[in-house]
Amino acid sequence: MKYNISFQPTIQSKLASIDFDNLPFGQVFSDHIFVADYRDGAWQDLRIEPFGPITMMPSNLTLHYGQAIFEGMKAFKNQAGTPVLFRPEMHAKRLNASAARMCMPDLPEDLFLEALHQLVGIDHAWIPNKPGNSLYIRPFAFATEEIIGVRPSNSYKFMIFTAPVGPYYDKPLKLIAANKYVRAVPGGVGEAKAAGNYAAGLLPTQEAHDAGYDQILWTDNHEYKYIQECGTMNIVFMIGDTIVTPATDGAILKGITRDTLLYMLRQKGMKVEERPVSIDELAKAHQAGTLKDAFGVGTAAVIAPVTEISYYESQDATRVKTIKLPLEGRDISTGLKKELHEIRTGILPDPYGWVHEVKIRDAAAV
């Protein structure tokens, strides 16, 4: 063990009070949290302590200038009951890519991995056993310097907490294509998992919900016709026998689930294209009967089928057309979701080296 991470156990675990058969997403939190502080040019005071409130001054830089980033990942149990992580090193790399864009310090990847392993090893009993459920993991970092001034902070905090969760979406999605709001533009912070990205999506998403849709289909900022993402997920289409997804051009998050699924598809010999995809192309493919599937992909939802895509004929939003796709006959996406679940949980062997076992730690003996 390279890092000396201190441990303060919780006095009273909440585990016995949790109804694991009825888990909402992101509302129940495990017993402990990992914390590290950055000051004087180094990450220090590494610790795992009881999950609880954070105190800060009103002048904290994050509250005013938004230096805050995060990751989202999951832990599962394999068939032997051992906790496992899925491609954790990719999340470490992406966290640091986000940090670079937001002018924040790197976190050593081996520290990220050590903290994950120790925290999940201690709170392993919080990993649900019910199919479709998992232990959601939220690493995040934010500025802590207490000063008003538009500049990078000199101090930061990095933390990881976990939450047992049920499925993110419990039904197929109905989307409305954006025609006045944009999520991100090339050269912006669309590739970073920055907190502000998600704040900017709240109003258009609420308007979509009010209009009867489940999520926004984000489009480009020039013509509002080239597709970017689906809510907080990447999006994938099957046109004919080809898998098509928007290229990561600087405005689109480099999703780890996206990368995983595209790799699996290519390994199966399927044709995969990462390129611009327009609403016009989807409409023509649907009319020709070649649009076979559409689905969002992301850590929380894994694969979320899309059954309706509505779009405006013009930016004045007076006429809406809808592409409707049946839920049946989606052998590729449903097969991928099943295979990925079985690799993660040890039902199938992992030929890619993606699954990392976590050593169970007895909290009383740590």
The residue whose two tokens read 């976590």 is 358
Nearest to 234 by CA among 280, 191, 171: 191
Read off the DSSP letter of residue 15: G
Position 341 pLDDT exceeds 80? yes
- The whole-number pLDDT of residue 363 equals 67
- The whole-number pLDDT of residue 124 equals 97
What is the C-alpha to C-alpha distance for residues 31 and 34, in angstroms, rounded to an integer?
11
For the purposes of burial, counting CB atoms within 10 Å of the CB of 97, is it exposed (0-12), middle (13-18) or buried (19 or more)?
middle
Separation in Å, CA 172 to CA 60, 167, 175, 203, 338: 41, 12, 10, 22, 16
CB atoms within 10 A of CB 56: 15
List the beta bridge partners of residue 83: 77
Position 49 pLDDT exceeds 80? yes
Mean pLDDT in residue range 55-76: 97
- What size, in residues, is the chain? 366
Position 365 pLDDT exceeds 70? no
In sign, the C-alpha dihedral spanning 323, 328, 330, 336 is: positive
* Euclidean distance between the first and the last CA atom of the chain, given in angstroms as a whole number: 13
- The whole-number pLDDT of residue 316 equals 61
Q: Residue 167 in 3-state DSSP?
A: coil
Q: pLDDT tens-digit profile of 153-168?
A: 999 999 999 999 988 8
- The whole-number pLDDT of residue 44 equals 97
For the purposes of burial, counting CB atoms within 10 Å of the CB of 331, is it exposed (0-12), middle (13-18) or buried (19 or more)?
exposed
What is the C-alpha to C-alpha distance for residues 174 and 162, in angstroms, rounded to an integer?
29
What is the C-alpha to C-alpha distance for residues 231 and 178, in angstroms, rounded to an integer?
10
pTM, full prediction: 0.95
Tell me the pLDDT of the chain averaged across its residues: 94
Provide φ and ψ at 290, rounded to 5°. -105, -5
- The whole-number pLDDT of residue 319 equals 81
Q: Which residue type does 9 have?
A: P
What is the C-alpha to C-alpha distance for residues 338 and 332, in angstroms, rounded to an integer?
10
Position 146 pLDDT exceeds 90? yes
Position 42 pLDDT exceeds 70? yes
Q: pLDDT tens-digit profile of 83-101?
A: 999 999 999 999 999 999 9
Q: pLDDT tens-digit profile of 198-233?
A: 999 999 999 999 999 999 999 999 899 999 999 999
Angle value at C-alpha 88, between 82 and 94, nearest 5 degrees: 165
- The whole-number pLDDT of residue 74 equals 96
CB atoms within 10 A of CB 274: 15
Q: Which residue type does 140 have?
A: F
- The whole-number pLDDT of residue 364 equals 60
Mean pLDDT in residue range 336-351: 96
Q: Residue 188 in 3-state DSSP?
A: coil
Q: Which residue type does 119 have?
A: L
158 neighbors 141 (Cβ within 8 angstroms): yes
- The whole-number pLDDT of residue 318 equals 67
What is the C-alpha to C-alpha distance for residues 199 and 97, in angstroms, rounded to an integer?
20
The residue whose two tokens read 């986000």 is 98
Domains of the chain: 6-169+347-357 (3.30.470.10), 173-326 (3.20.10.10)
Burial state string for 339-355 with b = 16 or more CB within 10 A and e = fewer than 16: ebbebbbbeeeeeeebb
What is the C-alpha to C-alpha distance for residues 300 and 203, in angstroms, rounded to an integer?
21
